[in-house]
């Protein structure tokens, strides 16, 4: 995976690239820079509202920031999108996360 700096250079050339924005958000999350990751997960969702993986990853960052209600909302939306696209696996992964944070 490219570094944050490499992804930022690529995004400077093509700021609307959904995959690059998603990759950058993941890198920020991996480095536990969750507030910054949220900015880029939101950008992915802005560019492609149907990119349900961004909702799942956004929820993980929100949970790490202890923003559980927002995480639940992101997961609910992501689950609806995954179901609508016929991706049962993604839906179930988000459902498990939603149940785990709702129980805690």
What residues does each domain of the chain span?
Answer: 4-103
4-103 under CATH 1.25.40.10, yes or no: yes
Average pLDDT over residues 57-67: 97
pTM of the model: 0.93
pLDDT tier for residue 1 given thresholds of 50, 70 and 90: confident
Q: What is the percent of the chain where pLDDT is above 90?
A: 95
CA 34 to chain centre: 11
pLDDT tier for residue 86 given thresholds of 50, 70 and 90: very high
* Residue 78 reports pLDDT greater than 90: yes
């Amino acid at each position: 995976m490219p570094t944050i700096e490499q992804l930022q250079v690529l995004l400077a050339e093509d700021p609307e690239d959904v995959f690059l924005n998603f990759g950058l958000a993941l890198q920020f999350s991996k480095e536990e820079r969750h507030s910054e990751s949220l900015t880029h997960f939101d950008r992915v969702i802005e560019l492609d509202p149907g990119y349900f993986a961004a909702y799942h990853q956004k929820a993980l960052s929100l949970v790490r920031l202890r923003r559980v209600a927002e995480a639940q909302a992101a997961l609910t939306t992501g689950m609806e999108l995954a179901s609508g696209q016929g991706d049962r696996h993604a839906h179930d992964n988000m459902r498990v996360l939603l149940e785990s944070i709702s129980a805690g």
